[in-house]
Amino acid sequence: MDWKLFFQAITKYLLGLLLVGLLLFLPAGTLRYPGGWLLLAVLFGPMLPAGLVLLGHRPELLRRRLNAREPEPEQRRVLAWSALMFLAAFVLAGLNFRFGWLPLPDWLRYAAAGVFLLGYLLYAEVLRENEYLSRTVEVQEGQRLIDSGLYGLVRHPMYAATLLLFLAMPLVLGSLPSLAVMLAYLPIIGKRMDNEERVLCDGLPGYAEYRERVKYKVLPGIW
């Protein structure tokens, strides 16, 4: 086992758990926020075993995702807007619970948790299919075009998975105001995909033809 990679992954995992917890429970003014605990369970529960699987079987993929540094200035701006979106959504969720602005029924929160886990499974399948998957927009040395499996249905199945995850998240938290904020992910992801496709067309052989063959980006027949 690569112990340096293990401790790096565990450190980032615990810091992420702490940060999300603070962003949710401090605005809520209490630890008795069921939606907050439900999100922590479905978000960080599967993340730990998935990370251990990557550590054991695909450590290079895990290392690339942990050490990602976005080289594209446009993508750095996109990531900054995404960070602000999450910050606003989490804080609003806590405040929504604290002041009871627009509460959602329990059944909807649990149904959204199921959708969230479905998004996780879809994301795991994308990781299985594409060994070159990175958090940054770049063409890696030796990278080949992936056009089978989910990539035969849409060009960006990873973003299809994140679409499920991010839009389910505010419903898991029981917060309609947060859902309104998370809808900003649609133009954000659109801009990221447009830039990513320009990079791939320029640097990945066969991608331009693949884009003509597979018409949809994230949702077959829709987008």
Q: How confident is the model at residue 137, as a pLDDT? A: 56
Ordered by where they begin, the domains of the chain are: 3-213 (1.20.120.1630)
Q: How confident is the model at residue 139, as a pLDDT? A: 66
Q: How confident is the model at residue 136, as a pLDDT? A: 58
Whose tokens are 């995404």? That residue is 82
Distance from C-alpha of 94 to C-alpha of 191, rounded to nearest angstrom: 29
pLDDT band for 2, please (50, 70, 90 cuts): confident
pLDDT > 70: what percent of the chain?
Answer: 93
Res. 41: pLDDT tops 70: yes
Q: What pTM was estimated for this model as a whole?
A: 0.91
Whether residue 116 contacts residue 165, with contact meaning beta carbons closer than 8 Å, is answered with yes
Which segments of 154-204 does DSSP mark as H helices, in order?
157-172, 176-182, 185-203
Res. 135: pLDDT tops 70: no
- The string of pLDDT tens digits covering residues 58-92 is 888 788 777 766 666 777 888 889 999 999 999 99
Please state the rounded mean pLDDT for residues 136-141: 62
Distance from C-alpha of 30 to C-alpha of 84, rounded to nearest angstrom: 23
pLDDT higher at 103 or 93: 93
